[in-house]
Amino acid sequence: MKINYKTISKNFFEQKTWQKSQYLCGIDEVGRGSLAGPMLTAAVILHQNKTHPLLKDSKLLTKEERETAYHWIIKNSFYSFALASHHTIDKINIYQATLYTMKQALLQLLHSMPITQEKLKCVLIDAVPLDLNHKPQYKNIEFISFDKGETRSTSVAAASIVAKVTRDALMQKFDTLMPAYTFKKNKGYASKDHTNTLKHFGPSIIHRTTFIKTILKEEKYGEKQKRLFC
């Protein structure tokens, strides 16, 4: 079901669902356009009637605000996340990887949440159409996708925050192993410094080959890469 987000009032679905003592799940991803590292998707079911002023698009928050919101979310929701490695993205393409992680995050949450499946009314997804048609036990769950979901749903916004904070922490760990690429700063995205490092040293072990072909232009970097770890 595709909906024009401009026609939806803030938290329309949350208010409608909570009034019936039911739940809904928000799903969002981060890292889709990154040159390196995994893409990570989070699924979040907020506890009924729980909200917070920092539940908004993670890109609009400072690092400190995201951390504050993240710690609130994990205490006031059921949540899960799944990731697709750079290998998976190269193998099946970014769109299929997005669908894969969204389904994985949702299924993990459905299996682990301490509420009955009948209580879950709908699943809200930012932009990407999703379904679980291959899982007939979930046929009564409504799937709704619409653009800019994190600005129209606190559930989707919560998912965007969980995904962002979790992936940023992972990229920071990669930064300690491969500091030349400054993953702590660029999170794997195509900043000027990042692309310059790529052109000079070539790809790291976590770069997406299909994303960096035009940057590298088939050049060889064996000796320069060795110096990164000396």
Q: What is the mean pLDDT of each run of 10 residues along the chain (230 residues)?
A: 61 92 96 97 96 93 97 98 97 96 96 88 90 87 87 93 98 96 96 93 95 76 43
Instruction: Give the dihedral of Cα atoms 166, 168, 174, 178; nearest 10 deg.
Output: 180
Nearest to 24, CA basis, from 44, 1, 53: 44
What was the pLDDT predicted at 223?
Answer: 47
Q: Of 3.30.1330.30, 3.30.420.10, 3.30.470.20, 3.40.50.720, which CATH number belongs to 2-173?
A: 3.30.420.10
What was the pLDDT predicted at 219?
Answer: 53
What was the pLDDT predicted at 2?
Answer: 52
Domain map (residue ranges) of the chain: 2-173, 178-228
Exposure string (b/e) for 104-124, b if CB count within 10 Å is 16 or more?
bbbbebbeebeeeeeebbbbb
What was the pLDDT predicted at 227?
Answer: 44
What was the pLDDT predicted at 220?
Answer: 55
207 pairs with which residues across the strands?
A: 36
